[in-house]
Amino acid sequence: MAEVTDEAILEISGLSKVYKGGVRALDDVDLTIRKGEIFALLGPNGAGKTTLIGAVCGLVRPTSGTVTAFGEDLARNWREARGRIGLVPQELSTDMFETVRRAVSYSRGLFGFPPDKARIEEVLRSLSLWEKRDSQIRELSGGMKRRVLIAKALAHEPDLLFLDEPTAGVDVELRKDMWRQIAALRERGTTIILTTHYIEEAEEMADRVGVIRNGKILMVDDKDAMMQRMGRTEAVITMSQPLDELPASISVFPVELRADGLELWYRGGDGSGKGREDVAALTKALVRAGIDYRGIDVHDSSLEDIFVGLVSETEEA
């Protein structure tokens, strides 16, 4: 498996974008992407994810700030850098009357690479598109069209790949298939930046996660570290009899009584499993205290919970 290194493949510094009419889509964004990692950029609609990708890929003119890719300033030496970047856009934008193979070959040529039938076949086969190689793109299903966009982005063997909502509108099976393909790309050493609405997707694949809202990066961290730092376990223990108060042996846990004493709520721990250990200890303590219960519901917070909490906090602030 390709290693994630500390070497920066993309450095974004002080990047801002103000659209006509004054909408500030990006607000002084600083972000560094490490070589070989999968980075998930999360944010609600209109947070600035697509604008950020557009600013790096040449679709959007930044108002200020710098973008350095592979050590080259993109504003000056854009040719070299762009030749090593691939983009899969959010919209299903492609020439619908073109055949799959010709569309992918065109992309390779556009990026300055010589024709390579073997490479095109490899890409098409890896995305299960080989059987459809001579079909017009308009004849394909939505999921297959998205695969074509991925194939087009991979045709020139990019070192850095942007996937803007890669699984939007595709069914669960195809989504998981794409996750496998993205993982395979990473194995080959491609650095991947993806935006997604499916937090589960980021949780499944990303090495690091960034949260953006209102054009500002709220947080960037290793996914596991973020889960550990911000993850929590919640447990609801349903009592056989309502409790008026908690004995001291139970009060030491981060618990509270709800539903007129019929439910004991636990919220604590971290994203590394400490919360579940606490809950086990809590149930033993209840038994020792002679308190009977008839049900336990335990839930570890997901990246989605963390994301929603983070976004809500800043909204309130």
Partner 1 sequence: MIGFNLRGAWSIYQRELMRAFRTAFQSVIAPVLTTSLYFIVFGSAIGSRMEPIQGTEYAAFIIPGLLMLTLLGETTSNSSFGIYMPRFTGTIYELLSAPVGVAETLVGFVGAAATKSLILAAIILATATLFVDYQIKYPFLAVGFIMLVAASFSLFGFILGIWADSFEKLGIIPVLILTPLTFLGGTFYSLEMLPAPWDKIALANPIAFLVSGLRWTFYGTSDVSIGISLGLTLGFLAACTAIIAFIFKTGWRLRE
Q: Which residues bind partner 1 (CB under 8 A)?
A: 19, 54, 57-61, 78-80, 82-83, 85, 87, 89, 91, 93-97, 102, 106-107, 109-114, 152
| Count of other CB atoms within 10 angstroms of residue 229 | 14
Please, which residue, 148 or 237, has the CB nearer to partner 1?
148
Closest CA to 134 of 153, 121, 149, 122: 121
Give the shortest CB-286-to-partner 1 separation in angstroms.
Answer: 59
Helix (H, G, I), strand (E, B) or coil at 221: strand
Please, which residue, 4 or 155, has the CB nearer to partner 1?
155
Residues 15 and 67 sit within 8 Å (Cβ to Cβ): yes
Strand order in the sheet with 255-258: 255-258, 263-268, 233-239, 293-300
Give the shortest CB-89-to-partner 1 separation in angstroms.
Answer: 5
CA quadruple 309, 311, 314, 316: dihedral positive or negative?
A: negative
Please, which residue, 82 or 132, has the CB nearer to partner 1?
82
Give the shortest CB-116-to-partner 1 separation in angstroms.
Answer: 12
Please, which residue, 88 or 243, has the CB nearer to partner 1?
88
Give the shortest CB-133-to-partner 1 separation in angstroms.
Answer: 16
Give the shortest CB-258-to-partner 1 separation in angstroms.
Answer: 50
Strand partners, 211: 42, 219
Residues 29 and 35 sit within 8 Å (Cβ to Cβ): no
Give the shortest CB-230-to-partner 1 separation in angstroms.
Answer: 34
Please, which residue, 111 or 266, has the CB nearer to partner 1?
111
Sequence-ordered list of residues with C-beta below 8 angstroms from that of 214, at least 6 positions apart, any chain: 24, 27, 47, 48, 314
Please, which residue, 81 or 127, has the CB nearer to partner 1?
81
